[in-house]
């Protein structure tokens, strides 16, 4: 009988998924609808001396299925019109795609209003704080996304701000987010911030001098981004198909899409 | 595919969520849709050179019971767009009423006829679905929206009960994602390939997909609706029959199909 | 967090080079977030073969002792050292013996084939399924980080010195992004007729 009651039976065939149906009960019940999902994918941002680079793969998944091979994760924010030709900020979102899009649209609307009211585009630092507030407002029903905001600061230097789903944020030199963040982040530590790299012959043990941290030139950073994603694609099934790269400089935003493995 | 006997004859839990027996209670507090009741299976669609072809069968299932065999799951909007519905049928009918009203409102408001193209319609529907999921009261559907965008290029996009949206040269909901998408992607692997596919080719591929789905999806029917949307409008045929079925392979199948002894 | 594989923490990696192999591990032993020891090596040498073990520390000790016993018995019976590929099959069958009550370890084997001198590495799951790899094997709580590092730093036919630099950078950067691994590292470079063991200090936090 247990076989047909839809309750788990011990030592017998069973559902492989967690949500075993419940029998009817009286009175109030808890909502069991799960409003979240994970659409996979990964993002990456690096700040340079006079530029910031934001990248994300373009695969969108649910479970083991690929919904589409081209769904952008990096967006221009705060342009005057929907074409975003004069945008001065970049936002990348990864995690739950519907929340990501909702967040992106909200931040864009806010930056557009700011531009309209003040007659100038929002600065990265101001937008960074505002984004944190937006995310924290949904503290108890969060946007399930890892966001990264990029742009140029008041001195024209590249700026990257990274967020957790409830709005904690920090300005950083580089950050990886999403499904393959744990694969990419140590690589960035090593190759961008030269962590664990020492100058030979400068001492023994902790006396050794660290390799001097110099901002990398743009062409080198672009190669690092491509290498990081090629590695992530190799070892993570939710990453692949295409690599969307946006580079923000004083001359504006450049966008390109490179192919990644589609298997 | 689920090989566990106790899961047979029911909408797949991993797709539609667990069956909630408590909906049967006659009185009590208002309940949000926790799980679909009467359901439609896959919707498949693919772009071609100057439009989009979409198909969905005419079956509405009640669990494993083929309950309603003449339910049309593709509707037109403003004679310029089409929407295919997978998932709960009562939520589909709610959306259908809502869209009819929206169509009338839009027709009255704009003097030069309709202003909503397929992209606008998709945005509207996905925002509606996202809002309902945010209220913990989802509309249990997976939609495909097709038509032409503001520059009269073929447009095809999906939206689901969680508000997740995406576009692709070919799309399929439910079982179609596993069985039909691989077939369609052979013809339109990327956006560039769309220009090389004719209307007749696309219709042929979609018909082939419906046949594969009928062979392998136990909740499907051989009677289906087929819609073709181009700049000349929508051509919706609601009583198509699967032709040239071949069940010759069936008596050779052992186990799950790969077994040889 | 209460998975037996991630109570004590630890990381191990092996790489193939040109006529050499490298194997490295961290030195941390912890109880969840609390670090108990910073001198808990996870690589064990049996003749010419190296075994790396991550996972539950008690099983790491037990399994390493078990294989020392088994390899010694092999040497007494056969009057020769065990070859890496033979040892890999011994590990596999020994773990599968405990199919329904497994040791919570993720072993890594590295060595040079005694006859051909060809590099050999492989990894296992806790019930003995062998993963023969031509490039590198990772295991432990920092395995994701190690995958990312190795996939991007490793290249074919590295000489012993370059291989040492590659495996060290990969391990150090990986464990720095894992709260349960780190506190120094052991690196072995195995060449024909020569084994070099180095201690890396690494971050002590």
CATH classification of B38-241 is 3.60.20.10, yes or no? yes
Residue A15 contacts B, CB cutoff 8 Å = yes
Q: Within a 10 A sphere around the Cβ of A235, how many other Cβ atoms? A: 15
Q: Within a 10 A sphere around the Cβ of C131, how many other Cβ atoms? A: 12
Q: Which positions ≥6 away from A104 have C-beta within 8 Å?
A: A75, A77, A91, A93
Q: Which residue did the predictor score with more confidence, A13 or B44?
A: B44
pLDDT band at C32 (very low <50, low <70, confident <90, very high): very high
CB pairs under 8 A between A and C: 57
Q: Is the pLDDT of residue A16 over 60?
A: no
Q: Which of A151, A101, A93, A99 is nearest to A126 (CA)?
A: A151
Q: Which of C45, C40, C32, C15 is nearest to C169 (CA)?
A: C15
Is there a contact between B21 and A36 if contact means CB atoms under 8 Å apart?
A: no
Q: Please indicate whether chains B and C are in contact, defined as at least 3 beta carbon pairs under 8 Å.
A: no
Q: What is the pLDDT of residue B16?
A: 80
Q: What is the pLDDT of residue A117?
A: 97
Task: Give B255's DSSP letter.
Answer: T
Instruction: Tell me the domain boundaries of chain B.
Output: 38-241
Residue B14 contacts A, CB cutoff 8 Å = yes
Q: Please indicate whether chains A and B are in contact, defined as at least 3 beta carbon pairs under 8 Å.
A: yes
| Backbone dihedral angles phi then psi of residue A157, each to the nearest 5 degrees | -90, 155
Written as one string, the DSSP assignment of chain C is --SGGGSS--EEEEEE-SS-EEEEEE--EEETTEEEES----EEEETTEEEEEEE-HHHHHHHHHHHHHHHHHHHHHHSSPPPHHHHHHHHHHHHHHTTTS---EEEEEEEE-TTT--EEEEEE-TT--EEE-SSEEEEETTHHHHHHHHHHH--SS--HHHHHHHHHHHHHHHHHT-TTS-S-EEEEEEETTEEEEEEE-----
Residue B28 contacts A, CB cutoff 8 Å = yes
Q: What is the pLDDT of residue B67?
A: 96
Is there a contact between C152 and A187 if contact means CB atoms under 8 Å apart?
A: yes
Q: Is the pLDDT of residue B26 over 90?
A: no
CB pairs under 8 A between A and B: 102
Residue with tokens 């788990």, as numbered in its chain? A8
- pTM, full prediction: 0.89
Residue B150 contacts A, CB cutoff 8 Å = no
Q: What is the pLDDT of residue B250?
A: 80
User: What mean pLDDT comes out for the span C47-68?
Assistant: 98
pLDDT band at B28 (very low <50, low <70, confident <90, very high): low
Tens-place pLDDT, residues C156-171: 999 999 999 999 999 9
pLDDT-above-90 percentage for chain B: 76
Q: Is the pLDDT of residue B143 over 60?
A: yes
Q: Is the pLDDT of residue A111 over 60?
A: yes
Is there a contact between A25 and B167 if contact means CB atoms under 8 Å apart?
A: no
Chain A residue numbers with beta carbons less than 8 Å from the beta carbon of B134 are 35, 141
Q: What is the pLDDT of residue A94?
A: 98
How far B248 CA sits from the closest chain A CA (Å)?
30
> How much is the CA Rg of chain C, to the nearest whole Å?
16
Q: Is the pLDDT of residue B77 over 60?
A: yes
Q: Which of A138, A236, B194, B53 is nearest to C152 (CA)?
A: A236
Q: Are B139 and B85 in contact (CB under 8 A)?
A: no
How far C62 CA sits from the closest chain A CA (Å)?
31
Q: Is the pLDDT of residue A2 over 60?
A: no
Q: Is the pLDDT of residue B256 over 60?
A: yes
**Crossing angle of helices A181-191 and C143-153, rounded to 10°:** 50
Is there a contact between C148 and A195 if contact means CB atoms under 8 Å apart?
A: no
Q: What is the pLDDT of residue C146?
A: 98
Q: Is the pLDDT of residue B113 over 80?
A: no
Q: Which positions ≥6 away from A34 have C-beta within 8 Å?
A: B17
Tens-place pLDDT, residues A26-40: 555 555 799 999 999
Q: Which of A71, A145, A139, A69 is nearest to A104 (CA)?
A: A145
Q: What is the pLDDT of residue B27?
A: 60
**Crossing angle of helices A97-118 and B118-134, rounded to 10°:** 110
Residue B157 is inside which H or E element, if any?
Answer: strand B154-160
Residue A90 is inside which H or E element, if any?
Answer: strand A89-95
> What are the tokens at B213?
């789905």
pLDDT band at A3 (very low <50, low <70, confident <90, very high): very low
- Classify B94 as helix, strand or coil: helix
Residue C118 contacts A, CB cutoff 8 Å = no
Chain B residue numbers with beta carbons less than 8 Å from the beta carbon of A26 are 25, 28
> What are the tokens at A120?
């100038």
Question: Could you give the CA distance from residue C145 to residue C165 in angstroms, rounded to a whole number?
Answer: 17
Search chain A and give the residue with CA nearest B24.
A24
pLDDT band at B20 (very low <50, low <70, confident <90, very high): confident
Q: Is the pLDDT of residue C127 over 80?
A: yes
Q: Which positions ≥6 away from B104 have C-beta within 8 Å?
A: none
CA angle B187, B189, B191 (to 5 degrees): 105
Q: Rounded to whole angstroms, what are the CA distances from A5 to A20, A47, A68, B79? A: 10, 58, 38, 48
Mean pLDDT, chain A, rounded, equals 91
Q: Are A4 and A13 in contact (CB under 8 A)?
A: no
Question: Could you give the CA distance from residue B7 to residue B221 in angstroms, rounded to a whole number?
Answer: 20
Is there a contact between A196 and C148 if contact means CB atoms under 8 Å apart?
A: no
How far B126 CA sits from the closest chain A CA (Å)?
9
Q: Which positions ≥6 away from A79 have C-beta within 8 Å?
A: A85, A86, A87, A112
- Classify A54 as helix, strand or coil: strand
pLDDT-above-70 percentage for chain A: 88
Is there a contact between A187 and C148 if contact means CB atoms under 8 Å apart?
A: yes
Is there a contact between A196 and C174 if contact means CB atoms under 8 Å apart?
A: no
Chain A residue numbers with beta carbons less than 8 Å from the beta carbon of B33 are 33
Q: Which residue did the predictor score with more confidence, B62 or B258?
A: B62
> What are the tokens at A144?
């399930």
User: What mean pLDDT comes out for the span C126-131?
Assistant: 98
Q: Is the pLDDT of residue A150 over 70?
A: yes
Q: Is the pLDDT of residue A15 over 70?
A: no
Q: What is the pLDDT of residue A4?
A: 41
Residue C102 burial class via C-beta count within 10 angstroms: exposed 0-12, middle 13-18, buried 19 and up: middle
Is B230 catalytic? The answer is: no
Task: Give B30's DSSP letter.
Answer: -
Q: What is the pLDDT of residue A27?
A: 57
Q: What is the pLDDT of residue B260?
A: 80
Q: What is the pLDDT of residue B31?
A: 59
How far A261 CA sits from the closest chain C CA (Å)?
15
Is there a contact between A17 and B6 if contact means CB atoms under 8 Å apart?
A: no
């Amino acid at each position: 009988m247990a076989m047909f009651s839809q309750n788990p039976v011990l030592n017998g065939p069973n559902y492989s998924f967690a949500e075993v149906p419940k029998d009817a009960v009286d009175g109030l019940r808890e909502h069991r609808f799960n409003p979240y999902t994970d659409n996979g994918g990964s993002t990456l941002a690096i700040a340079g001396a006079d530029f910031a680079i934001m990248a994300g793969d373009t695969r969108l998944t649910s479970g083991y299925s690929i919904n589409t091979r081209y769904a952008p994760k990096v967006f221009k924010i705060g342009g005057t019109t929907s074409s975003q030709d004069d945008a001065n900020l970049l936002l990348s979102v990864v995690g739950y795609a519907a929340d990501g899009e909702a967040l992106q649209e909200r931040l864009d609307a806010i930056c557009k209003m700011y531009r309209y009211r003040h007659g100038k585009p929002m600065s990265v630092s101001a937008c960074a704080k505002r984004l944190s507030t937006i995310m924290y407002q949904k503290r108890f029903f969060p946007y399930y996304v890892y966001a990264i905001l990029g742009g140029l600061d008041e001195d024209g230097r590249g700026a990257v701000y990274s967020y957790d789903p409830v709005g904690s944020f920090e300005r950083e030199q580089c950050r990886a987010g999403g499904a393959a963040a744990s694969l990419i982040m140590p690589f960035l530590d090593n190759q961008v911030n030269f962590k664990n790299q020492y100058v030979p012959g400068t001492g023994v043990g902790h006396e050794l001098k660290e390799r001097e941290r110099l901002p990398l030139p743009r062409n080198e950073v672009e190669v690092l981004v491509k290498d990081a994603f090629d590695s992530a694609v190799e070892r993570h099934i939710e990453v692949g198909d295409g690599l969307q790269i946006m580079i923000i400089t004083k001359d504006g935003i450049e966008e390109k899409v490179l192919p990644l493995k589609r298997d | 595919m689920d090989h566990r006997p106790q899961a047979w004859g029911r909408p797949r839990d991993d797709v539609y969520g667990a069956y909630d027996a408590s909906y049967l209670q006659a009185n009590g507090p208002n309940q949000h849709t926790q799980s679909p009741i009467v359901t439609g299976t896959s919707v498949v669609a693919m772009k071609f050179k100057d439009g989009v072809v979409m198909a969905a069968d005419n079956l509405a299932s009640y669990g494993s019971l083929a309950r309603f065999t003449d339910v049309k799951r593709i509707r037109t909007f403003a004679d310029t767009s089409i929407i295919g519905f997978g998932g709960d049928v009562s939520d589909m009918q709610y959306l259908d009423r809502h869209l009819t009203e929206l169509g009338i409102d839009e027709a009255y408001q704009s003097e030069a006829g309709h202003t909503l193209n397929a992209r606008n319609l998709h945005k509207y529907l996905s925002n509606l679905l996202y809002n309902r999921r945010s209220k913990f009261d989802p509309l249990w559907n997976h939609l495909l929206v097709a038509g032409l965008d503001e520059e009269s290029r073929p447009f095809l996009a999906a939206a689901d009960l969680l508000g997740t949206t995406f576009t692709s040269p070919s799309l399929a909901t439910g079982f179609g994602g596993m069985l039909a998408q691989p077939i369609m992607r052979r013809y339109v692997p990327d956006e560039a390939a769309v220009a090389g596919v004719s209307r007749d080719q696309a219709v042929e591929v979609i018909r082939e997909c419906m046949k594969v789905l009928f062979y392998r999806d136990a909740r499907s029917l051989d009677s289906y609706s087929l819609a073709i949307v181009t700049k000349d409008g929508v051509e919706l045929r609601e009583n198509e029959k699967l032709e040239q079925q071949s069940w010759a392979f069936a008596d050779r199948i052992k186990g799950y199909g790969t077994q040889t002894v | 967090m209460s998975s037996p594989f991630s109570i004590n923490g630890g990381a191990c990696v092996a790489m193939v080079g040109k006529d050499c192999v490298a194997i490295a591990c961290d030195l941390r032993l912890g109880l969840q977030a609390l670090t108990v020891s910073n001198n808990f090596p996870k690589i064990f040498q049996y003749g010419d073969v190296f075994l790396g073990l991550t996972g539950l520390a008690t099983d790491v000790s037990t399994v390493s002792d078990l294989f020392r016993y088994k390899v010694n018995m092999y040497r007494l019976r056969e009057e020769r050292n065990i070859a890496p590929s033979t040892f890999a099959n011994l590990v596999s069958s020994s773990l599968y013996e405990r199919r329904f009550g497994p040791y919570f370890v993720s072993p890594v084997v590295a060595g040079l084939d005694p006859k051909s001198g060809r590099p050999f590495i492989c990894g296992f799951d806790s019930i003995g399924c062998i993963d023969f790899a031509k490039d590198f094997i990772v295991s432990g709580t920092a395995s994701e980080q190690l995958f990312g590092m190795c996939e991007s730093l490793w290249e074919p036919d590295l000489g012993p010195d370059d291989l040492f630099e590659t495996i060290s950078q990969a391990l150090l950067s990986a464990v720095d992004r894992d709260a349960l691994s780190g506190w120094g590292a052991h690196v072995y470079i195995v060449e024909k007729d020569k084994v070099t063991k180095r201690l890396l200090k690494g971050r002590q936090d």
